[in-house]
Chain A
Amino acid sequence: MDLDLEELAAVIELLDKADFTDFRYEKGDLRIAVRRGGPPLADDATPRQVAPARSAVASTPVVPSPQVAPARSAVAPTAPEDGTVLIRSGMLGTFYRSPKPGDPPFVEIGDKVETDSVVGIVEVMKLMNSVAAGVAGEVTAVHAQNGDLVEFDQPLISVRPIA
């Protein structure tokens, strides 16, 4: 089976409306992987990987999940990769990557940010608090998903500073 660009766009549009973080499709030598933020899948670092579509990330429903399975604290001392700076959450709340549902995210991997650039929103009891980058550079990783509960001090985004 072969997919042309138009069909690929249709697949991504369908996914856009679904609640997912990772999508993989394999048939014969065709492999498609789509993901929203987060670390890469174990084996998806292949040349045929489809880069996360901006719109797919932006449209994650902006509704805090009412039920979260118990797990240990998400705050783990993450050692930043060489030369990057972690932007951490200044408060516990619900993390949003875009100004409002349907809008593109404030930042994506590869984007340049200034010190005062807004990179996300943390909502505490219906109060929206914008998160500033605090450093000028290039976004190298996004650690929290749209709609996640983020804890105080939890890493949100990595930035490689530009001197």
Chain B
Amino acid sequence: MTGRVFVANRGEIAVRIIEACARLGLETVLGVSTADRDTLGARRADRVVVLGGPRPADSYLAQETVVQAALSTGCTAVHPGYGFLSERPSFARLCADNGLTFVGPDPSAMEALGDKLRARELAESLGVPVSPGGTADSLAEVTALAQRIGYPVLIKAAHGGGGRGMKLVDSPAELAAAWAVASSEALAAFGDGTVFLERYVRDAKHVEVQVLGDGHGHRVHLGERECSVQYRYQKVVEEAPCVALPDDARRLLHDSALRIADALDYRSLGTVEFLYDVERGQLSFLEVNPRLQVEHPVTEAVTGVDLVREQLLVALGEPLSFRQDDVHVRGHAIEARVTAQDPAQGLRPSPGPVKRWRPPARGGLRFDSHVVEDYAFPPFYDALMGKLIAFGDDRAQAIDRLGTGLAEFEIAGLPTSKDLLERIVREPAFLTGEVTTHWLTDLLEEAA
């Protein structure tokens, strides 16, 4: 395969994309900020161009600059990774208008999914379970709606996502003010003040389904992941499969995800997120992320499918090389995100010099990272340093390997989340697989 791909991202995912391209015979051009000139990704790419200064708005988010750089270096495709420009329909359109293949879904699918209220209505229309909710214009209608849903309710921004722009309301007295504040915050943060109500499910697991579609009408799911270990909506530990799901709930989950992908004639990788209320045995649709996910390696570990490779191939017009019947989930995989965050300081970002960095190397472990010893971890971007993924025949073996790997991992120079990760994999609630999305936040904030 020949071609040249512009990598419009940084950090560990830039390294991952460069590696996937190289194995397909595709050349890569990496666009970097001045803060990222001397990084592992810059060393691995065939060519590097400096987009702008360290601030994301001046480099990784500068749409025109990225497209100009891709065109001027002779690239024919742009991989946006996750974050940054990956979920911007305007960027996907700009690429298309300039003859560049955007490695992601069609802009129209991104728009439909980027509006959480529209996505929710789509799910509902397809018979996919959603938690009771909706939206209304007048305060009287909103109050009546909240009454029907039952308190506590969650106010969400239609253009938010990933926990951003949410407000929890416990009683009718708080509703009017919260609705007004949420709407003006959403307008300021996302450029659209549309908000909606949903029943708040307190004790739920976060489960999500990996879907993949080509441009030829084929779509498959690659099983589910569980990402309940979160701190303030930031995922910390993820695994595949989710052991708490009964078979009928798992079938409904996979089937629901595929129904949404089918309705959109979805092309590329996508993740359909749900909450699973363990006590009531109820699934409810959350949102769809139309991009590669940080936690994709756990799915790769249990299915044997190289997701980034498949994503590139379908973007370049190839039909999927396998069908649903060919997808088998075997064993168990767990990913721990090692971040430059200080657990002793409420997981405050802790950039600084990485004086010692000795990741474990042993059977059943995979390590995705852009960090090397003596790297100065920059303060401008997200805190992810690396992802340690353990694979085992079953969950117990995967946990055991992850614990051993973390214990052998030597890091010095800056505080990281490593100690917290070691603690999490020893916690009884984690070992029994019963944690829900507020478990880690409770654990850390009770201690504080």
Asked whether, in the complex, the Cβ of A70 is within 8 Å of the Cβ of B51, the reply is no
Given A70-B47, A73-B42, decide whether A92 and B65 contact each other with a Cβ distance below 8 A: yes
Asked whether, in the complex, the Cβ of A92 is within 8 Å of the Cβ of B27, the reply is no
Determine which of A66, A124, A153 lies in contact with B68 in the assembled complex, contact meaning CB atoms within 8 Å: A124
Determine which of A73, A91, A127 lies in contact with B37 in the assembled complex, contact meaning CB atoms within 8 Å: A73
Binary interface encoding of chain B residues 40-55 relative to chain A, with 1 for a CB under 8 A from any of its CBs, else 0: 0010001111111100
Asked whether, in the complex, the Cβ of B37 is within 8 Å of the Cβ of A68, the reply is no
Given A66-B74, A73-B37, A152-B53, decide whether A92 and B68 contact each other with a Cβ distance below 8 A: yes
Which residues from A are CB-within-8-Å of B71? 64, 66
Please, how many residues of chain B have a CB less than 8 angstroms from a CB on the other chain?
25
Shortest Cβ distance from B77 into chain A, in angstroms?
A: 15
CA of A67 to CA of B31, assembled, Å: 17
Which residues from B are CB-within-8-Å of A153? 34, 50
Given A149-B73, A153-B34, decide whether A91 and B52 contact each other with a Cβ distance below 8 A: yes
Which residues from B are CB-within-8-Å of A59? none
Given A124-B65, A153-B34, decide whether A73 and B47 contact each other with a Cβ distance below 8 A: yes
Shortest Cβ distance from B416 into chain A, in angstroms?
A: 30
Which residues from A are CB-within-8-Å of B69? 92, 149
Q: Is the interface of B mostly helix, strand, loop or mixed?
A: mixed
Q: List 27 A-B contacts (CB under 8 A).
A: A65-B72, A66-B71, A72-B48, A73-B42, A73-B47, A73-B48, A73-B49, A75-B50, A91-B65, A92-B50, A92-B52, A92-B65, A92-B68, A92-B69, A93-B65, A123-B68, A124-B65, A124-B68, A125-B67, A125-B68, A149-B72, A151-B51, A152-B34, A152-B50, A152-B53, A153-B34, A154-B50
Asked whether, in the complex, the Cβ of B68 is within 8 Å of the Cβ of A94, the reply is yes
Asked whether, in the complex, the Cβ of B29 is within 8 Å of the Cβ of A70, the reply is yes
| Contacts between chains A and B (CB distance < 8 A), count | 67
CA of A106 to CA of B419, assembled, Å: 59
Q: Is the interface of A mostly helix, strand, loop or mixed?
A: loop
CA of A70 to CA of B71, assembled, Å: 13
The 7 A-B pairs at the shortest CB distance, nearest first, are namely A149-B72, A125-B64, A151-B50, A73-B48, A70-B47, A70-B46, A67-B74
Within 8 A of A (CB), among B79-131: none
The reply on A71 being an interface residue by CB < 8 A is: yes
Which residues from B are CB-within-8-Å of A94? 68, 72
Which residues from A are CB-within-8-Å of B52? 91-92, 152
Asked whether, in the complex, the Cβ of A152 is within 8 Å of the Cβ of B74, the reply is no
- Complex: chain B residue closest to A148, CB-CB: B72
Which residues from B are CB-within-8-Å of A75? 37, 50
The reply on B4 being an interface residue by CB < 8 A is: yes
CA of A125 to CA of B27, assembled, Å: 23
Which residues from A are CB-within-8-Å of B68? 92-94, 123-125
Most buried by B among A71, A91, A93, A153: A91
Binary interface encoding of chain B residues 398-420 relative to chain A, with 1 for a CB under 8 A from any of its CBs, else 0: 00000000000000000000000
Asked whether, in the complex, the Cβ of B74 is within 8 Å of the Cβ of A92, the reply is no
Within 8 A of A (CB), among B9-50: 27, 29, 31, 34, 37, 42, 46-50
CA of A74 to CA of B74, assembled, Å: 16
